[in-house]
Amino acid sequence: MNAFLNFGRELGSTKGGDARLNSMQKVARLAGLFYLVFILTFVLAAYIRSRIIVFGDATATAQNITANELLFRVGFVTELVSALFFVLAAWALYVLLKPVNKDLALLFLLLNLSGVVIECINMLNLFAALPLLSGADYLTVIPADQLQAQALFYLGLYSNGIIIAQLFFGTWLLPLGYLVYRSGFLPRPLGILLIVDFISVMIWFLQFFLLPGADVISYPGLAVSFIAEVSLTLWLLIKGVEERKPTMAGAS
């Protein structure tokens, strides 16, 4: 980890081009690795939730949680791990793109971190379902159907909280995409795709709160988001960076 912390200094140093490019390749591939772990754990956590939570059916959801408590807990921990690796991926991208423009790199890092903080706090709503359905003695005074309804209510809050976090998870893509586009060492089409991803996530965010019955509006954008972020991940992992100079100053 100490070696990684030195990469940022090496990227801004006046060392030979080969040494600097080698450092950039290491950071790029580490960013790709972090992003890949984030995507895999995020998808796994979402899959586990889909197997357990039945929105609109409090009884079925309660039965699924009590019958699969360990799986529910695994999904919870997996989502926390995904949040951690999302921050690590953003940090590595910050180190990689800071020489292009430090202020914009810091901006996308802070936006990402803000979204992750909201996500982690929001996960308390997800975990709240467990104690409500635990069958603890102090809950016996409350009818079972009310406990089930309350558990589903908290799960609904969790679902809404995910969308709130998208305000930041979407916005961070704008400066990120711009810096990728202007970097000179990452492909410009990838930067454009990330900016389109930003627009797509913002459409999803606005549709959810302003037009809740029009989910179909956001479906194409969600596909774009998947393509954009998987493309970024695979490019960083497989290709890394190209030996070209940034087209924009501002690292100081």
Cα(241)–Cα(96) distance, rounded to whole angstroms?
10
Looking at residue 14, its pLDDT comes to 42
pTM given for the model: 0.88
Cα(107)–Cα(115) distance, rounded to whole angstroms?
12
Cα(130)–Cα(126) distance, rounded to whole angstroms?
8
Looking at residue 6, its pLDDT comes to 56
**Average pLDDT of the chain to the nearest whole number:** 90
Question: What percentage of residues in the chain have a pLDDT greater than 70?
Answer: 89
Cα(37)–Cα(152) distance, rounded to whole angstroms?
29
Q: What is the mean pLDDT of residues 213-238?
A: 90
Confidence of residue 106 (pLDDT cuts 50, 70, 90): very high
* Under 8 Å between Cβ of 248 and 101: yes
pLDDT at position 229 over 90: yes
Give the list of residues 6+ apart from residue 69 with CB closer than 8 angstroms, or none: 130
pLDDT tens profile 48-104: 999 999 999 999 999 999 999 999 999 999 999 999 999 999 999 999 999 999 999
Q: What is the mean pLDDT of residues 141-166?
A: 95
Give the list of residues 6+ apart from residue 50 with CB closer than 8 angstroms, or none: none
Looking at residue 20, its pLDDT comes to 75
pLDDT tens profile 54-68: 999 999 999 999 999
What secondary structure does DSSP assign to the chain, as a single string? -HHHHHHHHHHTS---HHHHHHHHHHHHHHHHHHHHHHHHHHHHHHHHHHHH--TT-HHHHHHHHHHTHHHHHHHHHHHHHHHHHHHHHHHHHHHHHTTT-HHHHHHHHHHHHHHHHHHHHHHHHHHTHHHHTS--GGGTTS-HHHHHHHHHHHHHHHHHHHHHHHHHHHHTHHHHHHHHHHHSSS-HHHHHHHHHHHHHHHHHHHHHHH-TT-GGGTHHHHHHHHHHHHHHHHIIIII---S---S-----
* Under 8 Å between Cβ of 45 and 84: no
- The identity of residue 244, as a single letter, is R
